[in-house]
Amino acid sequence: LKLSAGVDFNQQNQNIFKPKALDPTYHFSTSEGTIARDISLINENLLSYNFSIKNRHNFDVLLGLSFQKDQSFNNKGSGSNVHYVGAQGWGGDNGLNNVGDGTKDLFISAFTYLSNFDEERLNSYFGRVTYNFKEKYMLEATLRRDGSSVFGENVRWATFPSVALGWAFSEEPFMKRFYWLSFAKIRGSWGVSGQKFHQPYLAHGLLSPDRYTFHGNAGMLPNTSAGVINKNLSWEETNQYDVGLDISLLDYRFKVNLDYYYRYTKGQLNRITLPGNTQYLNFQWQNGMAISNQGIELELIADIFRETAVQWRMKFNLSRNWNRFEKSYTDMDMVNGNGQLVLGRPIYGLYIYKDLGIIESEKDIPAYYDQQGNKNTLHSMNKSYPYSVGTRMIQDMNQDGRIDDEDRYYAGSTLPVAYGGWANEIMWNGFDLNVLFTYSLGRKIINLYKISSLQGNSRTSTIFVDYANTTFWEKPGDKADYPVITSSERGYIGQFDGDVSSNIEKVHYLRLKQLTLGYNFPKEWMKRINLEGCRLFFTAENLFLLTNYSGVDPEVVDPFTGYDNFLNYPLARKLTLGLTVRF
What pLDDT digit, counting tens, does each position of 136-154 carry? 999 999 999 999 999 988 8
For residue 22, is pLDDT > 60? Answer: no
For residue 569, is pLDDT > 70? Answer: yes
What is the pLDDT, as a whole number, of residue 91?
Answer: 42
pLDDT digits (tens, 9 = 90+) for 423-450: 999 999 999 999 999 999 999 999 887 7
Identify the band that residue 226 occupies on the pLDDT scale cut at 50, 70 and 90: confident
Integer angstrom CA distances of residue 512 from 90, 357, 421, 460, 550: 70, 38, 10, 36, 19
Half-sphere exposure of residue 508, counting CA atoms within 13 Å on the CB side? 4
Give which of 438, 436, 412, 415 is closest to 425, Cα–Cα: 436
For residue 462, is pLDDT > 70? Answer: no
pTM to 2 decimal places: 0.79
What is the pLDDT, as a whole number, of residue 442?
Answer: 94
Centroid of chain to Cα 39? 26
Q: Are 472 and 495 in contact (CB under 8 A)?
A: no
Angstrom distance (rounded) from CA 278 to CA 228: 11
pLDDT digits (tens, 9 = 90+) for 203-223: 888 887 777 777 777 777 777
Angstrom distance (rounded) from CA 206 to CA 201: 7
Identify the band that residue 325 occupies on the pLDDT scale cut at 50, 70 and 90: very high
